[in-house]
Amino acid sequence: MNQQVGLGIAPVVGALGAELSGVDLSAPLGVETVKAIRRALLEYGVIFFRDQPLTPAQLLGFGRCFGGVIEYPFVKGIEGYPEVIPVVKLEHERVNFGGVWHSDTTYLECPPMGSLLIAREVPAAGGDTLFANMSMAYEALSTGLRRLLDGLRAVNSSAKADSTRTREDRVRDGARSDARNEYVAEHPVVRTHPETGRKALYVNVAHTVRFAEMSEEESAPLLNFLFHHQVRPEFICRFRWRPGSIAFWDNRCVQHNPINDYHGMRRVMHRITLAGERPV
């Protein structure tokens, strides 16, 4: 399972993540190579590539091998490529974009299936990204709690304070004129992966506000437990970036958190997101 023809797969840690080698993502990919990359994504949750200095057009071409590309609702894309958003922290800024544990845009009715992030400029040290396996987090819960959570739904909002704070700098520089003040969506607390059939926790501290038909105060004790539980060290891998590095993660079963430990240094990334389905 860890080797495909022409494709090397090296797991990062036990929980999730693998580094893939032996493929040039700037060139057209054959059907079998695309299938092998998708299998690796489904098995490891997040996959990494090194030394792939793709242009925006090449990044979009690679992403479209796996699904349609959608635009981010709050920030405009780079010039000429509305689907490619800048994920930037400049030398004078103190808050990093998306710097909180989350699965991307779970406040949308159909959140993205996956995201691809490519490093353009990275600090000399710092700026790593953490990833966490939500299927493993769900399976580590007691039978009784899993039974309870299986029947619950949760309300997700784009206006939760910790999340809005992390996008303020980019919204100031490049806000979309058509963005709503708030996006809200209700999703299962436990979603079933449409390709693997595996269950995963689908709440996150950045966007999940409360359980459906409950108040925020009533929801807080259990949600806070889940927010802490789902990022236990044994569920996590850590990725150190270099220019030309790419991470491709499955938003349906993986959360991520970029570490904000490089004040005074610049970090420039480009991200695209792939269209997903309504969680069930």
Catalytic residues: 102, 104, 256, 271
Q: Quick check: 214 pLDDT over 50?
A: yes
In 3D, which of 274, 223, 240, 263 has the Cα closest to residue 101? 223
The per-residue pLDDT for 75 is: 87
Position 117 scores a pLDDT of 98
Q: Is the pLDDT of residue 142 over 80?
A: yes
pLDDT at residue 100, rounded to an integer: 95
- What distance, in Å, lies between the first and last C-alpha atoms of the chain? 28
Q: Show Cβ contacts of residue 112 under 8 Å, excluding neighbours closer than 6 positions.
A: 70, 104, 105, 251, 273, 274, 275, 276
Q: Produce one character per residue of 212-223: b if its CB has 16 or more CB atoms within 10 Å, e if not.
A: eebeeeebeebb
Closest CA to 114 of 20, 22, 211, 44: 44
**102/256 Cα distance (integer angstroms):** 6
Closest by CA position to 208, among listed 232, 224, 193 = 224
CA separation for the pair 95, 165 (Å, rounded): 8
Per-residue pLDDT at 37 = 98
What are the pLDDT digits (tens) for 155-208? 999 998 665 565 555 455 656 566 667 999 999 999 999 999 999 999 999 999
Domains, the chain, with CATH or none: 3-274 (3.60.130.10)
CA angle 100, 82, 164 (to 5 degrees): 25
**CA angle in degrees (0–180, nearest 5) for 271-275-280:** 125
Q: Give the tens place of pLDDT for each residue, 229-243.
A: 999 999 999 999 999
Tokens of 9: 């797969």
What is the per-residue pLDDT for 5? Answer: 54
Long-range residue pairs from 167-170, CB within 8 A, at least 24 positions apart, any chain: 167/74, 167/75, 167/97, 167/98, 168/95, 169/88, 169/89, 169/90, 169/93, 169/95, 169/97, 170/74, 170/75, 170/85, 170/86, 170/87, 170/88, 170/97
CA nearest to 50, candidates 89, 14, 11, 24: 24
Distance CA 32, CA 7 (A): 11
Name the helix (H) or strand (E) containing 211.
strand 208-211
Identify whether the C-beta of residue 86 lies closer than 8 Å to the C-beta of residue 170: yes
- 3-state DSSP assignment of residue 135: helix
Q: What is the mean pLDDT of the chain?
A: 93
Distance CA(264)–CA(262), nearest Å, equals 6
Alpha helices in 133-195 (DSSP H): 134-139, 143-150, 161-174
